[in-house]
C-alpha cells in the first residue's frame, strides 16, 4: 500500500479481567485484578481502505499471535510494543509518520480545541515516530500534505 498521509493511533489501558478501561483519576467500579495492558482503541489515516482487519493481521505478523482484545487491537504489554506495532503498520501502509495519543491525552486535547485547524494542529503534537518511508524526505512535503483548512 502506498500512502502519503500520517497514521494516527489512539491507545488506552485495559484490564482484561473486567474489560474496563482505567482513566488516570477515576475511581474504579470494581477492584481491578489481572494484568493491565495497552490497546489501540481507534486509528485514522487518510488512506481510505485501512481497516480493523488490516490492523489485526499486522498485529499477528508482528507478535506471532492473534489480537484478542475485543474492544480494540491488543494486548500490548508496554508502550515500546505499542510503538513497535505502530511503526511496522506505518511502514506497511507507507505512512511517513505515526502519531500516538492516549485516550486521556486525546480527550484533554479535544477539550481545548474549537475548530478544525486547531484539531489538526493538536493531532500533530502527539508522540511521533518517523517511518523508514519518510527518512530523508523533505519535511516541507509533509507540511504541504497536511495543510491547515
Distance CA(139)–CA(40), nearest Å, equals 27
C-beta separation of 88 from 46 below 8 A: no
CB of 64 to other proteins, least distance (A): 26
SS3 42: strand
Q: Is the dihedral of CA 91, 93, 94, 96 positive or negative?
A: negative
State which H helix or E strand residue 107 sits in. helix 103-112
CB of 62 to other proteins, least distance (A): 22
In the complex with other proteins, the residue whose CB is nearer, 48 or 64, is 48
Where on the chain is the footprint of other proteins (CB under 8 A)?
Answer: 5, 8, 10, 12, 18-19, 21, 23, 26-30, 41-42, 44, 46, 48, 71-72, 103, 106-107, 110-111, 113-116, 118-120, 145-146, 149
Q: Which three cell numbers stand for residue 52?
A: 480493523
In the complex with other proteins, the residue whose CB is nearer, 21 or 54, is 21
CB of 84 to other proteins, least distance (A): 22
CB of 37 to other proteins, least distance (A): 15
In the complex with other proteins, the residue whose CB is nearer, 10 or 87, is 10
Strand 127-130 to strand 73-76: parallel, antiparallel, or no bridges (unpaired)?
unpaired
In the complex with other proteins, the residue whose CB is nearer, 116 or 128, is 116
CB of 19 to other proteins, least distance (A): 5
Q: Which residues contact 135 (CB under 8 A, 6 or more apart)?
A: none
In the complex with other proteins, the residue whose CB is nearer, 57 or 113, is 113
Q: Which residues contact 136 (CB under 8 A, 6 or more apart)?
A: none
Amino acid at each position: 500500500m502506498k500512502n502519503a498521509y500520517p497514521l494516527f493511533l489512539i491507545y488506552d489501558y485495559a484490564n482484561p479481567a473486567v474489560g474496563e478501561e482505567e482513566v488516570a483519576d477515576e475511581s474504579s467500579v470494581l477492584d481491578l485484578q489481572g494484568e493491565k495492558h495497552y490497546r489501540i482503541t481507534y486509528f485514522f489515516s487518510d488512506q481510505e481502505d485501512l481497516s480493523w482487519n488490516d490492523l489485526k493481521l499486522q498485529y499477528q505478523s508482528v507478535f506471532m499471535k492473534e489480537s484478542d482484545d475485543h474492544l480494540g487491537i491488543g494486548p500490548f504489554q508496554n508502550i515500546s510494543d505499542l510503538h513497535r506495532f505502530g511503526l511496522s503498520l506505518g511502514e506497511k501502509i507507507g505512512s511517513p509518520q505515526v502519531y500516538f495519543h492516549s485516550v486521556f491525552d486525546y480527550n484533554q486535547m479535544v477539550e481545548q480545541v474549537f475548530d478544525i485547524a486547531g484539531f489538526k494542529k493538536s493531532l500533530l503534537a502527539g508522540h511521533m515516530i518517523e517511518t523508514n518511508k519518510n527518512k530523508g524526505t523533505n519535511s516541507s512535503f509533509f507540511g504541504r500534505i497536511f495543510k491547515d483548512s
